[in-house]
Amino acid sequence: MRLTQEAQLDDTGEAQNEGLGWQIDGQGRYWHNGQTAGFHSFLGFDPKTKRGVVILASTSTSLVDRLADSFYKLLQGVPPPPVVFPTADKLATFAGSYDLTGSKLVVSAAGNRLYIEGPGEPKHRLSPISDHEFILEALGALAVFQADGGKVARLVFVIGDHQMVAPRSE
């Protein structure tokens, strides 16, 4: 059992490591997750504070894992900061064309809503979870708008451990 909580990788220069059957995050907490057919789970514990987090969700999105950090903070008596959603003006800065490996994606803003369209696809709503991150339910993906020099430069889709980058094309 002790070996499961010992870092197994050589110093990679990264804050994370792996034990036997466990991931070890930058704060020294151990965690593991799983996903299948519309469900997602997360189990983690912090040996320093002797606190653990278990999340069972009836959704298959890996965004469930992001909740763990907020729950650890709550257990320490630190409420997470309130979520800031984008204003209509901020949404308008995301509108434009993006090139996803040769396919043109069009992002449009309509009031307080943001939509995305691709070739042969209907318009899908992007639901905000922060001021620059959105859930694309149709793909079970996270859509993250990234800026360079104060301007939106790319749209990054995160599906599980995979990322697809779509640079802005206009």
Non-local CB neighbours of 31 within 8 Å, separated by 6+ positions: 22, 23, 24, 25, 42, 43, 44, 45, 65, 68
What structural domains and CATH numbers belong to the chain?
A: 2-75 (no CATH), 88-167 (2.40.128)
Strand, helix or coil for residue 111 = coil
**How does pLDDT run across 44-53, given as a tens digit for each residue?**
999 999 999 9
H/E segment holding residue 91:
helix 88-94
H/E segment holding residue 15:
none
**How does pLDDT run across 119-157, given as a tens digit for each residue?**
998 999 999 999 999 998 877 788 999 999 989 999 999
**How does pLDDT run across 2-59, given as a tens digit for each residue?**
767 676 666 655 567 666 678 888 888 888 888 887 788 999 999 999 999 999 988 7
The mean pLDDT value of the chain amounts to: 87
What Cα–Cα distance (Å) separates residue 164 from each residue in 36, 133, 146?
A: 22, 14, 13
Q: Is the pTM of this model over 0.75?
A: no
